[in-house]
A and B are shown apart, each in its own frame.
Chain A
Amino acid sequence: MTTAVEFRNVDIMFGARQDQALAMLDSGASRDQILQETGNVLGCAGASLSVQEGEISVLMGLSGSGKSTLLRAVNRLNIVSRGEVLVRDGDRQVDITSCDEVTLRRIRQHRVAMVFQQFGLLPWRTVEQNVGIPLELAGVPEEQRRRRVAEQLRLVNLDQWAGKYANELSGGMQQRVGLARAFVTEAPILLMDEPFSALDPLIRTKLQDELLILQEKLRKTILFVSHDLEEALKIGNHITIMESGRIVQTGTPEEIVLKPANAYVRDFVANVNPMSVLTAWNVMRDVRDLAAAGEGWVWLDRRRTTRLKLASGAAGLEVERDGKPVALVPYAAPQSGHDGGGPVFTIPVTMPLKAAMEAMQHSAAGPIAVLDGGRVVGAIGVRDVLGAILGREASGVRVSPSTPN
């Protein structure tokens, strides 16, 4: 995997007395102290983070935590006081903090596009003209511009509205125009500064879903700022939590929820429903930890009612419940209830915990076998599920290794 954006020890200080304020920062002064002594505002300090190509990386934090400040350093809307911000440009990396105007403009026109919280549309231009403006700035010929704009408007389902003025549209539609304007540049990196925060909850959810569907197709590198943890967990491949200008934790959604780095993060995730984050993989007992039940057999449940014969090679799997063979079938939701004599379900490792629980319900609380590419990798029983939901950290919930930063 290649790194699309990398922050290296980024300090951002707003105000005139840079040297003095940075010296104070180095000697360990707090944000408030710096503000009082110098009048400078610490935007963010010592931020290091790398964003891989094709992932959605979410910057999270309360307002004033420096998340937008850091995001806006990527296209130099904010000037970095110290440190580097490396942006991938073809097969080289450009340090945005020190590159010349021409390079910066090229990066802004072709490599990094942006979506704004307040949309940033021009009210005197039509939807079509708004979407086309980045191409206009880059000097793309009119005919090609028209074609690319039409294509993007179709992508966000706004082709009927091309001739309307931007302020005749609802908020959700305006932000779709914002998305189309960012996509039309064909920039591989997308900065999204709380793009859905100004929208009402239903529209927000809808646009999140649309973004995820588009992302499946487009595979952009997205740096996304949000103050809404549910949103971050839903769309982020990685989440970075920031507090008063500093990064406190970076990790996958389940790492953040299951292993909060400090009290601040713990408060953040306190109200998160684990069922919306955890997958079968997080809660299962690994197949190597299952109790042996004879030659080549393991017990799927702790009560030792159901055992499974691990196939050697591609041979079919065998399952017995209370000594009698039963069928092993992939779970497909939702089904009519089964009694004790029903089959044992299998689910893929990536299945959300909620679906795994449904499978369990339909097999009378029997154990579920977890498959990864046709191979049994673990089993889930009632106790595993309860442990995961009730005592997150106390239970043996597994967390995927974080990608090194």
Chain B
Amino acid sequence: MDPITEFMVDHRIPVGPWGMAFFDLITDQFNSFLRLFSRSLNNFLAGLVDLFLLLPPVALALMIAGLAWYLQRSLRLAIGVALGLFFIINQSMWAQTVQTLVLVVTAATASMAIGIPLGIAAAHRPRLYRVMLPVLDLMQTLPTFVYLIPVLTLFGLGNAPGLIVTIIFVLPTPVRLTYLGISSVPTSIIEAGQAFGATRRQLLWKYELPSALPTIMVGLTQSIMLSLSMVVFAALIGAGGLGTEINRALGSRRIDLGIEAGLAIVVLAIVLDRMVHVKTRGGK
């Protein structure tokens, strides 16, 4: 080894140990709180899943189809949704699908609930956005497996850590798209509001948010799709659902099981995407 490399290797910066020390510290200090949090979250998710599984599968599938009709006013879509879900029941993947669905909807809802306010704040304060940008990049580019480990040590196994991992992975998208939507509201629209005496709150609710709505809704569809793509990874730390089936198929090389669970995910993705798809009114 050449002397320069040797010198550099000998004086290694201990980023890994530092990070480990940091997480150890958090685990030591907040262990009981973290466990409590994780347990209540697990119970909440399990309760939700049990609630939905109380219903006969076909009844629940029809209810979802009804919701699709309510959201999009399209009979064709409602029939398509019902058929897709019947297929999942037919493949006896229903319980797993419901579990995945609960996880995905919760993760997407939480991401939107956190991401939209952050995106708005970033659009209004350019300085804040500059600070947020590297964090968002980190969240999106850090390989999922890397943060599976600390999340696992902090929250243990189960649905709760799966949900948290999913939120970390999804969150940047609604933040970015909300930021994009709000910061590209035409000046003419903002000025029209100011000229007639809108308060900042009115400006946000009556001008900026409606104008940014199409972009924010893209954020919602993207959040759902990204959440869905995380379920397979989340299964590695104990999140149930279709991901578990796929992992099992992988472990035992069962192509048939893989195809069944994979198709169920695809059907679920298409159903969700079509249901929340927003028809934009005329555009800007």
Contacts and interface: CB of A to CB of B under 8 A. Distances in A.
B196 A109 contact: yes
Given A120-B192, A124-B210, A108 B197 contact: yes
Contacts of B213: 124
Interface in B251-284: 281-284
A134 B193 CA distance: 8
Interface of A: 75, 77, 104-110, 113-114, 116, 118-125, 133-134, 136-138, 165, 167-168, 181, 185, 191
Interface string B191-202: 111111111001
Interface string B161-204: 00000000000000000000000000011011111111100100
B155 interface: no
Interface residues of B, number: 21
B192 A116 contact: yes
B189 A122 contact: yes
Contact of B188 (A105, A110, A116): A116
Contact of B191 (A77, A122, A138, A185): A77
A120 B189 contact: yes
A77 B198 CA distance: 12
B196 A122 contact: no
Contacts of A104: 197
Contacts of B283: 123, 167
A134 B191 contact: no
Contacts of A118: 188
Contact of A122 (B194, B199, B210): B210
Given A120-B189, A124-B281, A167-B283, 7 more contacts: A104-B197, A108-B197, A109-B196, A110-B197, A134-B196, A136-B206, A137-B198
A110 B195 CA distance: 11
Contacts of B215: none
A132 to B, nearest CB: 11
A108 B192 CA distance: 11
Contacts of A108: 194-197
A200 B207 CA distance: 28
Residue of B191, B206, B283 with highest tally of chain A CB at under 10 A: B191
B99 interface: no
Contacts of A114: 192, 195-196
Contacts of B211: 122, 124
A104 B199 CA distance: 11
B255 to A, nearest CB: 49
A75 B207 CA distance: 19
Nearest to B199: A105
Contacts of B281: 123-124, 165
A192 to B, nearest CB: 12
Contact of B197 (A138, A167, A191): A138
B202 A137 contact: yes
Given A124-B211, A133-B206, A165-B281, A105 B189 contact: no
A165 B195 contact: no
A120 to B, nearest CB: 3
B194 A123 contact: no
B197 A123 contact: no
A99 to B, nearest CB: 13
Contact of B196 (A121, A168, A185): A185
B197 A122 contact: no
B258 to A, nearest CB: 45
Contacts of B193: 137
B197 A106 contact: yes
10 contacts: A75-B195, A77-B191, A110-B197, A114-B195, A116-B191, A120-B189, A120-B191, A123-B281, A137-B202, A185-B196
Contacts of A167: 282-283
User: What are the nearest 5 A-B pairs in CB distance?
Assistant: A120-B192, A108-B197, A109-B197, A114-B195, A134-B196
B280 to A, nearest CB: 9
Nearest to B213: A124
Contacts of B206: 133, 136-137
Nearest to A112: B195
A125 B193 CA distance: 14
A194 to B, nearest CB: 13
Contacts of A106: 197
A310 to B, nearest CB: 55
A134 B197 contact: yes
B197 A77 contact: no
A110 B189 CA distance: 20
Interface string B213-230: 100000000000000000
A114 B154 CA distance: 57
A51 B199 CA distance: 28
A191 B191 CA distance: 13
Nearest to B283: A123
Nearest to B195: A114
Nearest to B281: A124
B60 to A, nearest CB: 34
Contacts of A110: 197
B207 A122 contact: yes
Contact of A165 (B189, B210, B282, B284): B282
Given A122-B207, A123-B281, A124-B213, A137 B191 contact: no
A359 B196 CA distance: 49
B214 to A, nearest CB: 9
A110 B210 CA distance: 25
A121 B281 CA distance: 14
